[in-house]
């Protein structure tokens, strides 16, 4: 038996959707993907936005045909809650790293901290940290950093919608951040420390929102493993259409069959008054997502991602 046929045999049919994991500290996002593959019996699992191993919180996983929807969700805004420690800098910009500098003078007060934080709201430039998965000439920066190398990294523009001080406890700032995808809260912490003249690093971090996925939906791995063993885990999947937030086109059975084979539809019944370029979640008569469709200038709906029926999971 070939490797490919063995893999196909392990693949279990089932529904598509999103599983929201509450990632614990000390494991990687890919560890959670591997765990979900075991729980659900499918290799078709991917995550929506990496969390650092020390970070915790909301990690949505796309399962089976929901992996086709990741491009529509991966740029969603995130919300983080964490603690910044002022006065100490580290080489990783967080508590996992080696201390590189310590401030010996007095630390800034609350009013000064709030003024400095306000300067980081809006469009800001960040230099990716050396201890990150960003690649330079195909090599992840963290591998270069482990060899004691530091290379030039071009800054990236990110958006910080809110940077709020929740509390000040000595050298520790409890904060909450709304930010665009690709924002490094570690860099935000280090840059704030430099702006305050005392340095700083990220002590703890928890993601409490990833786009439409909320902390209240997330379950820890041990709970999900128990539900998988009891055969209840697939009931936890968030249906594919729910997080998209697109207007919905309710198809007849005949229209759904046409779309599943890549066919277009006249838009008159589904998209009256909408402008070209709008994306729709096209649903079959049972309410299952059939496809993401785009309204074109010729007033036709064209499928851009077709999703298999829930009964087969692809």
State pLDDT tens for residues 92-103.
999 999 999 999
Check pLDDT > 60 for residue 1. Answer: no
Q: Give the residue range(s) of CATH 3.30.2350.10 domains in the chain.
A: 11-75+213-236, 78-210
- pLDDT at position 10 is 65
**Structure token digits, residue 130:** 């050396």
Q: Which fold has domain 78-210?
A: Pseudouridine synthase (3.30.2350)
Q: Give the residue range(s) of CATH 2.30.130.10 domains in the chain.
A: 246-306
52 is catalytic: yes
- Look at residues 261, 256, 246, 254 and name the one whose alpha carbon lies nearest to residue 295: 246
Mean pLDDT of 232-238: 95
| Residues sharing a CB contact under 8 Å with residue 233, sequence separation 6 or more, in sequence order | 19, 39, 40, 224, 227
- pLDDT at position 147 is 74
- Among 8-22, 178-192, 221-235, 250-264, the minimum mean pLDDT is found in 8-22
Annotated catalytic residue: which of 52, 94, 191, 284? 52
Tell me what percent of the chain is helix, strand and coil, each rounded to the nearest 5.
Answer: 25, 35, 40
State the CATH architecture for 246-306. Answer: Roll (2.30)
- Among 108-122, 130-144, 154-168, 224-238, the minimum mean pLDDT is found in 130-144
Q: What is the chain's alpha carbon radius of gyration, rounded to the nearest angstrom?
A: 23
Domain 11-75+213-236 sits in CATH at 3.30.2350.10
What is the distance between the alpha carbons of residues 85 and 193, in angstroms, rounded to a whole number? 9
């Amino acid at each position: 038996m070939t490797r490919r046929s063995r893999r196909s045999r392990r693949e279990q049919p089932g529904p598509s959707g999103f599983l929201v994991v509450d990632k614990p500290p000390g494991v990687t996002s890919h560890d959670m993907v591997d765990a979900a593959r075991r729980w659900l019996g499918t290799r078709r699992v991917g995550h929506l936005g990496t969390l650092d191993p020390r970070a915790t919180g909301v990690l949505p996983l796309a399962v089976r045909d929901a992996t086709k929807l990741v491009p529509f969700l991966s740029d969603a805004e995130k919300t983080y809650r964490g603690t910044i420690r002022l006065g100490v800098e580290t080489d990783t910009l967080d508590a996992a790293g080696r201390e590189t500098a310590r401030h010996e003078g007095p630390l800034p007060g609350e009013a000064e901290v709030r003024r400095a934080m306000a300067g980081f709201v809006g469009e800001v430039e960040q230099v990716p940290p050396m201890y990150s998965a960003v690649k330079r000439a195909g090599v992840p920066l963290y591998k270069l950093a482990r060899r004691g190398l530091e290379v030039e990294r071009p800054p990236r523009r990110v958006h910080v919608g809110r940077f709020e001080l929740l509390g000040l406890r000595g050298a520790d700032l409890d904060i909450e951040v709304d930010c665009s995808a690709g924002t490094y809260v570690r860099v935000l912490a280090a840059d704030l420390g430099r702006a305050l003249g005392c340095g700083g690093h990220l002590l703890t971090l928890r993601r409490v929102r990833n786009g439409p996925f909320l902390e209240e939906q997330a379950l820890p791995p041990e709970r999900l493993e128990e539900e998988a063993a009891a055969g209840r885990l697939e009931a936890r999947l968030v249906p594919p259409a729910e997080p998209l937030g697109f207007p919905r086109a309710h198809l007849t059975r005949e229209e759904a069959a046409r779309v599943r084979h890549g066919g277009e539809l006249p838009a008159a019944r589904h998209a009256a008054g909408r402008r070209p370029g709008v994306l729709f979640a096209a649903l079959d008569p049972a309410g299952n997502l059939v496809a993401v469709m785009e309204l074109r200038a010729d007033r036709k709906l064209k499928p851009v991602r077709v999703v298999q029926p829930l009964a087969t999971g692809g």
